[in-house]
Amino acid sequence: MLKRGLTIVAALCGLVVACENSYAQSERKKERNAAPQAVTPPLVLSQQEQQLSESYFLEGMKFFVLEEYNKALDRFQRAYAISPNNAAVNYKLAETSLLLGNVRGALPFAKAALELEPKNPYYHLLLAQIYTNQQEYDDAIKVYARLTQELPHTEQYLFNLTDLYLAKNRLDDALRTLGQIEGKYGLIEEISFKKQQIYLKQNNLAKALQEGENLISSKPEEVRYLLAQAEILAANKKIGEAINMAQKALAVAPDNAYGRLMLADLLQQQGKTTEADAQLELAFGNPSLDIDSKVKILVDYIRRLPNDKVAAQAIKLAELTTKAHPREAKAHAVAGDVFVNAGRKLPARDSYVKAVALDPGHYKIWQQIVLLDGEMNQNDSLVVHSERALEFFPNQPMFWFYNGTAYLINKNYTKAAKSLEYGRRLAGNNRDLQLQFNLQLGDAYHSLEQYALSDQAYEAALSIEPNNPHALNNYSYFLSVRGQNLPKAKALASTLVAQYPDNPTYLDTYAWVLYKMKDYQEAKRLLEKAVAVSSDATIIEHYGDVLYQLGQRDLALKQWVRANQVGGASEGISKKIKDKRLYE
């Protein structure tokens, strides 16, 4: 007999493959009896065969518990080869195959197990699970229906049956099954809500509302039931009734922030803006309303900015948000967004600073901070904030640009050049960034009297954008101040004025180049045009210098005095006026 047992084990793989092939063929033929042959007369096993089968089964269970499913499957298959009509063996083959992802292979064994032991609820459940996994909902429904009708104490599986009915849109069957559950367990919140949703799908608003009333009657103090009823009323355009229901909810729970939000929205729909805003403010002042809900509402306000009426309410809500959530970076960040879109740059910048103090890892917020510092000309703050941003984002060229620019404005030219050079290397092939870095470096190196580097930077900028006004103006002016390469300076300034013929600063630059080239008449013509539209002290002083060179010394003196009165002229202006003569 032992030899026979070994022969059976050796033939096991062929038997299993044959079973699976038979199943596959029957599937193609649409035959439904492809399960292992549970209907055949049971095999009569010898004691030794019985013991061997049990041994394989127990060994398979050991591997199953250890979650070594491949080994478990092998042992169960060996047991099956000896005793194919054993329900437990079929069940474990199906369950193990399912765990290994072989749903198709699990199905025939699950069906066989149930046919062998139709009173075992676990066999029903496994087969139903397999059908559900394959989205064969009709077959799964049949299994659950049989289970709950034929076996005692299986009412809990009516919930599964309900879900399957809903998946197949069999709404009346779902309602009937939910009624069975209520008959067994009484009023259950989950069941009532499901019934409501089904009634609403059936356009039976009256019954849906009645379900809500049943829940409210069962627990009048439960605010969720009142608010859920208000939502259904509002969704069905019964705004007045929804408001009354929301007010009932708030009478029960005055601190319910979501109830306040709902009431605010309903009042807004009736055009009662003042009352709606009051409810909204109560909600925003409540820390129990989560920050994400507040941010979502504030983003909607931001989309409607700039608008004075909207801005006033948005700012109020933003301030309530930061007060309710002082340790939430999101609260301060969205407040910054509100302020910046309302045109209030300083509180916007300060809000963003609070946000990064709580959570410094947000590049876009740091970007907003340095942009606002630059727009407000707060260079000391720009230095501090750009340095701080670089601690977290050292490879972002934009922060090096603002850092270098701030130092340049503050006349710390060495630090400016260092930051700008580092940032320019990080800018790589970004032509726009390279342009901006080169423009600032041209100015910084000129101030450091590193003229060759300054000229190289301007040349690099002009190679990217030949008509850039910053490069044309500063490069030509600095060449004229140094008295170097004046023909090039003239060409640059001429190109600039051709583009901007009425800009007084550019007219002054071109005039000063001509002055250095001793073309005083043309310089005078340009400066007369410039001083007619500008009260800049440098331009006025230059006009006086040209007049002096043309022998019009009294007129020159008047322009110097005027430049001195305006403020911002050269350091030597007082001496010019005192001595009534030009010093160069």
Distance of CA 10 to the CA centre of its chain: 60
One-character DSSP codes across 85-122: T-HHHHHHHHHHHHHTT-HHHHHHHHHHHHHH-TT-HH
Q: In angstroms, what CA-CA distances link 583 with 470, 521, 543, 552, 580?
A: 29, 20, 14, 16, 10
- Look at residue 14 in the predicted model and tell me its pLDDT: 29
Tell me if 437 sits within 8 A of 429, measured CB to CB.
no
For residue 87, CA distances in Å to 136, 182, 269, 515 come to 23, 34, 64, 109
Q: pLDDT value at position 183?
A: 84
Instruction: Show the tokens assigned to 436.
Output: 């901006």
> Residue 174 to residues 160, 234, 519: CA-CA distances in angstroms?
10, 26, 98
Closest CA to 405 of 395, 417, 388, 389: 417
Residue 42: its pLDDT value, please?
60
Helices marked H in 134-219: 137-150, 158-167, 171-185, 189-201, 205-218
Dist CA 443 CA 449 (whole Å): 10
- 233 Cβ neighbours under 8 A, 6+ residues apart: 209, 239, 241, 242, 245
Cβ-proximal residues to 256 (8 Å cutoff; 6+ apart), any chain = 223, 227, 249, 250
Q: Environment class of residue 183 by beta-carbon count within 10 Å: exposed (0-12), middle (13-18) or buried (19+)?
A: exposed
Residues near 457 by beta carbon (within 8 Å), at least 6 away in sequence: 438, 439, 441, 442, 445
Residues in Cβ contact with 545 at an 8 Å cutoff, skipping those fewer than 6 apart: 515, 556, 582
Phi/psi class of residue 569: alpha, beta or left (left: φ > 0; alpha: ψ in -120 to 50)?
Answer: beta
pLDDT at position 21: 33
Classify residue 184 by its DSSP letter: H
CB 146 within 8 A of CB 124: yes
| Confidence at residue 41, expressed as pLDDT on a 0 to 100 scale | 56
Q: Using CA atoms, how far apart are residues 23 and 104, in angstroms rounded to an integer?
A: 9
Query: What's the CA gap between 559 and 546, in Å, rounded?
Result: 10
Environment class of residue 500 by beta-carbon count within 10 Å: exposed (0-12), middle (13-18) or buried (19+)?
A: middle
> What's residue 9's pLDDT?
27
- As a whole number of angstroms, the distance between CA 311 and CA 183 comes to 56
- Cα dist from 345 to 318, 377, 383, whole Å: 15, 11, 18
Check: CB of residue 34 under 8 Å from CB of residue 23.
yes
Please give the average pLDDT of every successive group of 10 residues along the chain, which has 584 residues: 26 30 32 42 78 93 95 94 94 95 93 94 94 92 92 90 91 91 85 91 93 91 94 94 95 95 95 94 95 95 90 96 97 97 96 97 96 96 97 97 97 97 96 97 97 97 97 97 95 97 96 96 96 95 95 95 93 92 87
CA gap 26, 562 in Å, rounded: 107
pLDDT value, residue 36: 53
Neighbours of 209 (CB within 10 A): 19
| Three-state secondary structure of 507-575 | HHHHHHHHHHCCCHHHHHHHHHHHHCCCCCHHHHHHHHHHHHHCCCHHHHHHHHHHHHHHCCCCCCHHH
Query: Can the peptide bond before residue 306 be classed as cis, meaning omega within 30 degrees of 0?
Result: yes
- The first and second tokens of residue 125, run together, are 């459940």
Q: What is the pLDDT of residue 19?
A: 33
